[in-house]
Structure 1
Amino acid sequence: MSTEVPARTQAKAASTSRHQMPGRESADRKQVTQGRWASVLLAPTLILLAVVIIYPVVNAIIMSFQKDAGLDTATGFFVQGGAAGFDNYAHWIAQQCNGVACPPGTLGSQFWGAMSTTFFFAIVTVALETVLGFWMAIIMARTFRGRSIVRAAVLVPWAIPTAVTAKLWFFIFAFEGIANKLFGQQILWTGSEWPARWAIIISDVWKTTPFMALLILAGLQLIPDEVYEAAKVDGASAWQRFTQITLPLVRPALMVAILFRMLDALRMFDLPYIMTQGGNNTTTLSILVVDQIRQGFNSAAALSTITFLVIFIVAFIFVRFLGANAVGAATSSGKK
């Protein structure tokens, strides 16, 4: 009796494996086929990305280590550029001020001035857009008549091209524009430093706040209503529900929205260039790159590489230390 049971079990297992083996082989063959088709279908996209993104980035980095062609002051002849090493980077990071080196830590050079202006615009605009966008998202998350119309109307500033927005606000902030007539003032909004800066900030906040509001609204809609109802039953106030429920649960979407907007603000070009042409200390890094292209491609390539590294470091800090991980947030929500 003790020898028959293992024999029957082995025979049954062998029979089962023979019947299952073709199915396993078919599944493996299907998986391999799907993998090949996935590679074939993804190949055009990867090639396009390599041509449009990877090649220009690599080429710009190579150009940044080359000298710009120009006249040789010693001979007076036009000479081609050669290897420059890190001279182009040193030119921007340790730039000359009126023929002498700028003192360490000062913002006297073009690069450091543009860097400080860029981060000023980015920090102030993103902070204002986050607060206003959060407020708009909370309103749009409520149930009321005409909510769809309100959500569509909020998108209007975001849908307007940036160049059109810049011209619109340029006329508003003109000396005889609506802003001065509304406040009864005679301010040269684009003719002096701080009015010009605040004119650009107001224009950017007006245009981009809807983008923040929609991203935050998407995070608010993932919070179940039962959580708020349970908090009300427990006697939690509106402020407690906001600080203890809304903020913690919407934090992943909020951080991703701030990350996207911060990276976009660090590349700001259209608004300040059209409204002030970069004058009155409104020159951003992107404007400085475009202006430098007219003088030398290789030096501009070094500046654009520095700008890329600055933006990469900011993105790394947000993802690594502040939790702005869109992929991780999507994965965790999928597991739930």
Structure 2
Amino acid sequence: MTFADRKQPAGARGLRRPRLPGGPDGKAAFWLVGPALLVLAAIIGYPIVKAAIRSLYADGIDVHQPFVGLHNYAAALWGSSSSTFWASVEVTALFTVVTVLLETLIGLGMALVMNRAFRGRGLLRASVLVPWAIPTAVTAVLWKWSFDPAGIINAVTGSHLVWTGSEWPSRIAIVVADTWKTAPFVALLILAGLQVIPEDVYTAAMVDGAGPWQRFRLITLPLARPAILVAVLFRMLDALRMYDLPQIFTNGANGTTTVSILVVRATLSQLKPGYGGALSTLTFLLIFIVAYAFVRLLGVNAVAHAGDRTEPA
């Protein structure tokens, strides 16, 4: 028997996944979750429905505006404003992919370090979470000072670059600030997944002669995969609606206008509530589709993979 066959402790091999049929347990779960769903529907559902309805009417400060149907959506997707909308979608996708990738890799490394037993581990875990606890607006201001031409970044690197004065330096600065702030959040979620892995699994692998890389690849990554996917999903949904950092850094200039900035700009600055409602609805649909595709393609497999560890051998 190899260590791969001995991943699960013997006492856990006879366990089955808990199921909630339409019996007492299922009814109790429904009544427990029901109030939370009602609150979410009131807080989140109402603004979404209101924005969708407003997007069907013409722009203007008067409440009574003519019904224009899908004209605002057509203007955003392929009409006169389509170039601005799709440019913001590309910027949002760029920030999402780069920041989530960096935060996942850095967060995984931080979680592996914090999961080890050493003196001062509690203090390290508390200090790592400090960047995540700082409000995003405060983080943006601090990093904007750091990336100032007379700031610490240029002083350390010996350069004289105006980071927020051109396209790619501005994007790099925003990615650095966002990664610094939210990588600890990813590390916290992954650490929770690492702590539920039985130590006996690693002991059995070491007895069978598995090296550190084999233990990481064949034990740590598969067993921590559900936690990693949850962390990636949360951060991806958050990054798709990024607003604070690019707004404070550059006010959306130099190729840093995200979809959320475009929505606020159209609704408040340009006084186009109908077009802004269409943009906000499109943003919601974009985030929903991405989240649904992510869960369907990766999340279900992760849940099934985790459940297989509790099925009878």
Which of 66, 69, 82 matches 1:82? 66
**Aligned residue in 2 for 1:61:** 52
**Aligned residue in 2 for 1:310:** 286
Alignment partners' CA distance in 1, 2:42 and 2:247: 29
Aligned-partner SS, 2:111 = helix
**Aligned residue in 1 for 2:143:** 169
Would you say the 8 A contact 1:64–1:301 is kept in 2? yes
Q: How big is the alpha-carbon RMSD for the aligned residues of Structure 1 and Structure 2? A: 2.7
**Aligned residue in 1 for 2:254:** 280
The percent identity for this pair of structures is: 55
Query: Can you list the C-alpha shifts for 1:114-168, whole angstroms capped at 9, x where unaligned?
Result: 0000000000000000010000000000000000000000000000000000000
**1:158 is the counterpart of 2:132:** yes
Segments of 5+ residues of structure 1 without an aligned counterpart are: 1-31, 71-77, 98-107
Query: Can you list the C-alpha shifts for 1:252-299, whole angstroms capped at 9, x where unaligned?
Result: 111111011100000100011011100000000000000000221111
With 276-285 and 222-231 compared, the bigger mean Cα shift is at 222-231
| Change over 3 Å in CA distance of 1:48–1:109 after alignment to 2 | same
Query: Can you list the C-alpha shifts for 1:90-131, whole angstroms capped at 9, x where unaligned?
Result: 10011327xxxxxxxxxx811011000000000000000001
Q: Which amino acid aligns with 1:66?
A: Y
Moved over 4 A (4+): 32-47, 324-336
Q: Which amino acid aligns with 1:92?
A: A
Aligned-partner SS, 2:119 = coil
Would you say the 8 A contact 1:167–1:275 is kept in 2? yes
**1:52 is the counterpart of 2:36:** no
Segments of 5+ residues of structure 2 without an aligned counterpart are: 1-22
CA radius of gyration, larger in = 1
Would you say the 8 A contact 1:95–1:110 is kept in 2? no
| Change over 3 Å in CA distance of 1:34–1:96 after alignment to 2 | closer
Q: How far 1:304 moved relative to its partner?
A: 0.6
Alignment partners' CA distance in 2, 1:117 and 1:223: 38
Alignment partners' CA distance in 2, 1:41 and 1:323: 24
Which of 195, 219, 226 matches 1:221? 195
Aligned-partner SS, 1:109 = helix
Q: How far 1:34 moved relative to its partner?
A: 11
Taking CA–CA contacts closer than 8 Å with sequence separation of 6 or more, which of the two structures ends up with the larger relative contact order? 2
**1:210 is the counterpart of 2:210:** no
Would you say the 8 A contact 2:246–2:252 is kept in 1? yes
Alignment partners' CA distance in 2, 1:143 and 1:36: 42
Count of residue pairs brought into register by the alignment:
288
- 1:1-336 equivalences in 2 (<5 Å): 45-69=36-60, 80-96=64-80, 109-294=83-268, 295-323=271-299
Q: Which amino acid aligns with 1:58?
A: V
Query: Can you list the C-alpha shifts for 1:25-79, whole angstroms capped at 9, x where unaligned?
Result: xxxxxxx999999998877655433332221111111111111137xxxxxxx99
Q: How far 1:229 moved relative to its partner?
A: 1.1
With 294-303 and 49-58 compared, the bigger mean Cα shift is at 49-58
Alignment partners' CA distance in 1, 2:300 and 2:259: 24
Alignment partners' CA distance in 2, 1:34 and 1:261: 32
The TM-score normalised by the length of structure 2 is 0.84
Would you say the 8 A contact 2:170–2:256 is kept in 1? yes
Q: Which amino acid aligns with 2:293?
A: I
Q: How far 1:328 moved relative to its partner?
A: 7.1
Alignment partners' CA distance in 1, 2:158 and 2:302: 46
Would you say the 8 A contact 2:100–2:232 is kept in 1? yes
Would you say the 8 A contact 2:60–2:273 is kept in 1? no
